[in-house]
Amino acid sequence: MRMSNLLSQTLREAPSDAEIPSHQLLVRAGYIRQLAAGIFTAMPLAKRSLTKIEDIMREEMDAIGGQEMTMPVVHPAEIWKATGRWEKVGPEMGRFQDRNGRDMVLAMTHEEAVVAIIKDEIQSYRQLPMLIYHIQTKWRDDPRPRGGLIRVREFTMKDSYSLDRDWAGLDLQYANHYQAYFRIFGRCKLPVIAVESDVGMMGGNMAHEYMYLTPVGEDTLLLCDECGYSANRQIAKFQKKSASTEKAKKLKKVATPAAKTIADLIEFLKIPEYQTAKVVFMMAVIQDGNVEKEKLIFAIVRGDMDLNETKLMNAVGAKQLRPAEESEIISVGAVPGYASPIGLKGILVVVDDLIPDSPNLVAGANEDGYHLMNVNYGRDFIADVVTDITAARDGDACPNCSAAMKAVRGIEVGNIFKLGPWYSEAVGATYQDADGEEKPVVMGSYGIGSGRLLASVVEEYNDEYGLLLPISVSPYEVHLVELAGGKKESKEIKETAEKLYQDLKKAGIEVLFDDRDESPGVKFNDADLIGIPLRLTVGHRVLKEGGIETKLRSESEKNIIPLDQAVDNTKETIRRLYDQVEKSLKTVEFES
């Protein structure tokens, strides 16, 4: 590709609304342009990088038996109604009507499209197991896109779906993906860790997220350096210790005027934070038979801890959760700021499992200006559910080995999910087993967003001058710079560079040729910004010595090689760069 004809302009300054490095650099280097919030155009450079990433995904999916297909982006609402997600998913889903007034959906994921196909196509156990995948656009109307390509509304995703007779088959395909995903990220040279994640509403019994650790990430993870435990904060467990072993004392009402928060309370009563009980009011949508009901939940955690809403949702089987309005709290007889479940009826009480081990807590008296001291679980109140509902924090004890865990930020670059038979059952996607019985297909789903992966690679590999792409992800393998200038040798330089460009192409090398009439400074700076790993320079300085200059983007050292060896030498360097990627791959076994 000649840069004189490339649709891509580099910018000296990043747009002021780009904050994180990958966003700034991808825009400055001419890879992407923004059209609207969370909607981007991939310019020719980005398109080539994305294609490389997607080809890596293809190869790794094919290697574990995947077959590529393409499922539609626009779906009739019926298939989403069949799984219940037409109602369940909120405004995040794109909906419109076609010219006949028929409800349509912009796909945000493709489980529905998969079961719509397999319902008709899979009839016998002889067809299973199977693995299908596609690389397709998704639309998710996220309330807050951010960070350039990190979190967008329209994006391309490789999603695969495993189809099996039973859970054992799913376990195998899941383990295959677990390894294949490490290979995909490894080939993109992106360091990732796999952490356990929330299975959410999808049922199933296991999910992992692949996280690239970076401060610009939006998920919080808990990691244990001692034993390797790792989990998304949404589900991270930790060891809790009771702060006190004292005997239960007599319940006592105390006046605590204007002490509505835990901070006020401990200041006023001169007690430690851990000796208080914090009530968090949430409204949860809970399925009760065939009807959905909204219920008020009293979630109680110790005053020094935070409620983990994901854990709470899982504890009560809630479909949705939101903070309760003050009026909703008052309507059950509780007094905001002075609330507790003591003496109240008809509410759903969920307490953290540490509460029964925490004697003599201070809790609200359900009376304006008063709290109760020496509240004890069991004696003074009981809960409908006692389970772990608190959020793990930096420094908390590892659930396996008790060592202090670290809380770090990460970007979710991929996830794998054991769905089970849920979707198949919902739409009657069954197969006939060897015993003659109709059984639902057991599914798994697995996703990697290609744009987010590219952004993460850029986030990992950049310096003050620009991108430093691994060759496996770089839009071109070689950046050829011609410095013809106005010298008397310029004709010779131009011709030499042109011939080298043609020879490199003939040798099957992907070349970006800077044939523009620009000053050396401009060309070198643009080359650094675009970040192709290998740069070749044809200029009078080195041509005098019968050679051309080579330089790796990642190193400052420059070498001169004879012109007649330029193609072979370049091939060799490229091969070495690919080898380095291959050698850095580690096999990661899946341990269940």
By the rule CB under 7 A, 525 interacts with RNA: yes
> Toward RNA, which CB reaches closer, 393 or 581?
393
Query: Could you say which residues in the range 276-315 bind RNA, by CB under 7 A?
Result: 309
Judged by CB under 7 A, the number of residues near RNA is 68
Contact pattern for RNA over residues 391 through 420, marking x by CB under 7 A: ------------------------x-x---
How far out from the chain centre does Cα 402 lie?
Answer: 28
Query: Judged by CB under 7 A, does residue 529 bind RNA?
Result: yes
314-317 contacts, C-beta under 8 A, 24 or more apart: 314/198, 314/235, 315/350, 315/385, 315/387, 315/389, 316/284, 316/286, 316/348, 316/350, 316/385, 317/286, 317/287
DSSP helix/strand/coil, 27: helix
Determine, following the binding rule CB under 7 A, whether residue 218 of this chain makes contact with RNA. yes
- Answer yes or no: are the C-beta atoms of 94 and 106 closer than 8 Å: yes
CA angle 157, 160, 166 (to 5 degrees): 155
Q: What's the one-letter identity of residue 126? A: R
Q: Parallel, antiparallel, or unpaired: how do β-strands 230-232 and 219-223 relate?
A: antiparallel
| Beta carbon nearer to RNA, 157 or 354 | 157
Piece in contact with RNA (CB under 7 A), picked from 43-51, 175-183, 318-326, 567-575: 318-326
Smallest gap from residue 311 Cβ to RNA (A):
12
Cβ at position 245, least distance to RNA in Å: 34
Nearest Cα neighbor of 351 from 323, 402, 390 is 390
For residue 171, give the DSSP letter: H
Contact 422, 429 (CB under 8 A): no
Q: Does 569 bind RNA (CB under 7 A)?
A: no
Nearest distance, CB of residue 56 and RNA, angstroms:
19
Please check whether residue 446 is in contact with residue 419, taking contact to mean a CB–CB distance below 8 angstroms: no
Q: Judged by CB under 7 A, does residue 201 bind RNA?
A: yes
Indicate the residue among 433 and 498 with the shorter CB distance to RNA.
Answer: 498
Of the candidate residues 34, 256, 308, 358, the single one contacting RNA (CB under 7 A) = 34
The nearest distance, CB 138 to RNA, in angstroms, is 7
Shortest reach from residue 110's CB to RNA, in Å: 9
The tokens of 164 are what? 């099996």
Instruction: Based on the shown chain and the rule CB under 7 A, indicate whether residue 557 belongs to the binding site for RNA.
Output: no
- What is d(CA 364, CA 334) in angstroms, rounded to the nearest whole number? 9
Contact 135, 57 (CB under 8 A): yes
Q: Locate tokens 């923004």: which residue?
A: 34
Residues listed for the chain? 592
Residue entry with tokens 């903070």:
323
Q: Does 524 participate in binding RNA (rule CB under 7 A)?
A: yes
> Counting contacts by CB under 7 A, is residue 486 touching RNA?
yes
Nearer to RNA among residue 508 and residue 521 (C-beta)? 521
147 part of the interface to RNA, by CB under 7 A = yes
Q: Is 112 one of the binding residues for RNA (CB under 7 A)?
A: no
Q: State yes or no: residue 175 binds RNA (CB under 7 A).
A: no
Report yes or no: 213 and 185 within 8 Å, Cβ to Cβ.
Answer: no
Binding RNA by CB under 7 A: which of 447, 451, 470, 475? 447
Q: Does 85 bind RNA (CB under 7 A)?
A: yes
Cα 61 to Cα 174: distance, rounded to the nearest angstrom: 12
CB of 370 to RNA, least distance (A): 29
Q: Contact positions toward RNA, by CB under 7 A? A: 9-17, 19-20, 34, 36-38, 85, 88-90, 92, 108-109, 140, 142-147, 157, 200-202, 218, 309, 320-322, 415, 417, 445, 447, 465, 483, 485-487, 517, 519-522, 524-529, 537-543, 549, 551, 558
